[in-house]
Amino acid sequence: MSDVLELVDVSVVREGRALVEDVSWSVKEGERWVILGPNGAGKTTLLNIASSYLYPSSGTATILGERLGKVDVFELRPRIGMTSSALAEKLPRGQTVLQTVLTAAYGMTAGWHEHYDPVDEQRALAFLDRLGMNTHLDRKFGTLSEGERKRTQIARAMMTDPELLLLDEPAAGLDLGGREDLVRRLGRLARDPYAPSMIMVTHHVEEIPPGFTHVLMIRQGKVLTAGPVETELTSANLSRCFGLPLIVEHNGGRWTAQGLPLG
């Protein structure tokens, strides 16, 4: 299996501080990774490198076989789909859901033209249908609920047919029903052999969709563990990662974590 992402001794230094430090990590084709870690651990920084928007201060990053720094990122970026709250903020609030997804095919956050390829429109409709947004096609992006916005963004990220899909806290801000709906949809995507390789950032093990195969835990910029969920997502590792005693359970493909009872 070929490498989708390979980081070797990657550090990112800002204002004399390492945001991530000596990270070595490889993601193979078809793997679905979750990145877990507390606030400020460096999760978004890692995704920004994986999406080619951030260059390491030292070490090497190879994305989809292309070495960052030696590749034309404008050729690489359409091969990567990404969703995050920072990207959502850049999307025009006045565009409809369909326009929001369609414009991704042309590598733009804005700029609606009347003449889109009917094939692209069919693809946009199919992704929106898959994410349960087909009844909201004409709604303005800015009027959507948090959950609807997240689902629209995922459909948008799928538009370029990416080989790598990066999701930064896709379930943040969702209510219980919205979270369960999204986890189910992402689980379906994770099990689809034709779906892209996926990396999802979250703070909560409850948000890990079934079908996700690997976990990377990061704390204060350093990798604590990286490997298959079955062996690495343990109470001991998660406790170390979040800095408090936790019990992790795995039931029916889903994960839960809770603090040890007091006393």
Query: Could you list the residues that contact Mg ion (CB under 5 A)?
Result: 43-44
Does residue 43 bind ligand ATP (CB under 6 A)?
A: yes
Contacts of 176 by beta carbon, 8 Å cutoff, 6+ apart:
none
- Binds ligand ATP by CB under 6 A, chosen from 7, 21, 36, 37: 37
Q: CB of residue 44 vs Mg ion: minimum separation in angstroms?
A: 3
Which entry of ligand ATP, Mg ion, none binds 14, CB below 5 to 8 A by partner kind? Answer: ligand ATP
Give the Å distances, CA to CA, from 73 to 64, 92, 161, 260. 11, 24, 17, 46
Candidates 36-44, 147-155, 159-167, 255-263 — which segment interacts with ligand ATP by CB under 6 A?
36-44
- Binds ligand ATP by CB under 6 A, chosen from 5, 19, 101, 131: 19
Q: CB of residue 14 vs ligand ATP: minimum separation in angstroms?
A: 4
Give the Å distances, CA to CA, from 226 to 23, 103, 199, 215, 222. 11, 35, 13, 6, 11
Please give the Cα distance from 260 to 263 (Å, whole number). 9
Candidates 40-48, 72-80, 91-99, 245-253 — which segment interacts with ligand ATP by CB under 6 A?
40-48
Does residue 115 bind ligand ATP (CB under 6 A)?
A: no
- Binds ligand ATP by CB under 6 A, chosen from 7, 21, 44, 61: 44
Which entry of Mg ion, ligand ATP, none binds 89, CB below 5 to 8 A by partner kind? Answer: none
**What value, to the nearest 5°, has the Cα angle with vertex 24 and ends 188 and 160?**
40
Helical H segments across the chain, by residue range: 43-50, 73-76, 85-90, 97-102, 118-130, 146-158, 176-191, 229-232, 235-242
The secondary structure of residue 196, as a DSSP letter, is P
Candidates 32-40, 63-71, 74-82, 120-128 — which segment interacts with ligand ATP by CB under 6 A?
32-40
Question: Which of 162, 154, 153 is closest to 78 using CA atoms?
Answer: 162
Does residue 15 bind ligand ATP (CB under 6 A)?
A: yes
Q: Helix, strand, coil % (nearest 5) of the chain?
A: 35, 30, 35
Q: CB of residue 45 vs ligand ATP: minimum separation in angstroms?
A: 3
In this complex, which beta carbon is closest to ligand ATP, that of residue 53 or of residue 106? 53
Q: Map residue 95 onto helix, strand or coil.
A: coil
Please give the Cα distance from 225 to 23 (Å, whole number). 11
Candidates 14-22, 73-81, 117-125, 255-263 — which segment interacts with ligand ATP by CB under 6 A?
14-22
In this complex, which beta carbon is closest to Mg ion, that of residue 43 or of residue 156? 43
Does residue 40 bind ligand ATP (CB under 6 A)?
A: yes
By the 10 Å C-beta count (0-12 exposed, 13-18 middle, 19+ buried), 71 is classed as middle
Q: By the criterion CB under 6 A, which residues form the site for ligand ATP?
A: 14-15, 19, 37, 39-45
